[in-house]
Structure 1
């Protein structure tokens, strides 16, 4: 039941997102579209309540309950940026909005961007870990809680991987390629001139 509800929440997330953006930009009903988009967090509340009820009714805590906590955490940490990403593209395509801003590719700006992305993933993982810990306390000593602890360890990996990526862009920033002035051949000018002689 929990897995089916997670799938239903994921489908509902994208359906609400598509419907809300269509109402805002295609059908010119911005308030109704915004109301639909604001319903997105209700999906997580429903999933949280059903998971808690399932555990309270004596269900053995397993990977499904852990997956529900992870799904809620990732929606909290990444859902808003996903909605913003989609909103910018639909506004540009259907409402004459400005082109979506692409992430920077080089230097310090790229490092800052990677730290922001890592921050969102860290929030997602921490919320999931906190929900998993709440489930562990809720269940107490009853039942096998190893699968919930395993999900917590995976959340630490998520944080660690994102931190490593951000640190790598900070310590080893990608440099913008040098631009060749107009009229000058690409490559090393000295070698090109030597060949011509």
Structure 2
């Protein structure tokens, strides 16, 4: 496994460590500003990943699947980051602090709308990550094999289409209680 692959693992772990540390600081130690600061550190994890990936390619590394996953990770984190933190925040309050309303289980059209919102976010993440992948392909030029980068772009596109098809199906066959 190369440097970028390991860095993706470290960044994913760091993302959740910052979220958990932020929530614990915010709700257990009642330090709202410090907790918010820790939660706000999650985007910097992405910046580190992006910089290291760029440096690795700049130094002549042959693009691998890890290099192509880095823009995916960054785009998904940008698009879903706030909602992921909100999701963790709600559950932490209810299950750990025993405060606030129980997170509701969505059903019917409410679930269909929520699923479609997530699928549209996925489209946005694909556009951002796809633009980053295309920039990497353009930056690398024709001297290096960019097959892995193109393959990731194609497979991710198929996944986005499937995700949207599933969300649309919930409008036809709503989720039951």
Q: Which residue of 2 aligns with 1:98?
A: 101
Q: Which residue of 2 aligns with 1:179?
A: none
Bigger CA radius of gyration: 1
Aligned-residue offset at 1:23:
0.4
State the SS of the aligned residue for 1:75. helix
How large is the RMSD of aligned CA atoms in angstroms?
A: 1.6
Per mean C-alpha deviation after superposition, the further-off stretch among 1-10 and 62-71 is 62-71
CA distance in 1, matches of 2:123, 2:23: 27
State the SS of the aligned residue for 1:143. coil
Q: Which residue of 2 aligns with 1:17?
A: 19
Q: 1:95 to 1:29 in 2, by over 3 A?
A: farther
When the two structures are aligned, how many residues end up with a matched partner?
A: 174
Q: 1:85 to 1:71 in 2, by over 3 A?
A: same
Tell me which of 18, 29, 35 is aligned to 1:27.
29
Q: Which residue of 1 aligns with 2:158?
A: 157
Q: Which residue of 1 aligns with 2:116?
A: 115
1:53-86 deviations in whole A, cap 9, x for unaligned?
Answer: 1111111112121011111122122222211111
Under a length normalisation based on structure 2, what TM-score does the superposition of the two structures give? 0.91
Q: Structure 2: 5+ residue runs without aligned partners?
A: none
1:114-141 deviations in whole A, cap 9, x for unaligned?
Answer: 2112122222222221111110011011
Aligned-residue offset at 1:110:
2.5
Tell me which of 45, 48, 51 is aligned to 1:49.
51
Aligned-residue offset at 1:5:
0.8
Under a length normalisation based on structure 1, what TM-score does the superposition of the two structures give? 0.83
Q: Structure 1: 5+ residue runs without aligned partners?
A: 177-197
Q: 1:134 to 1:32 in 2, by over 3 A?
A: same
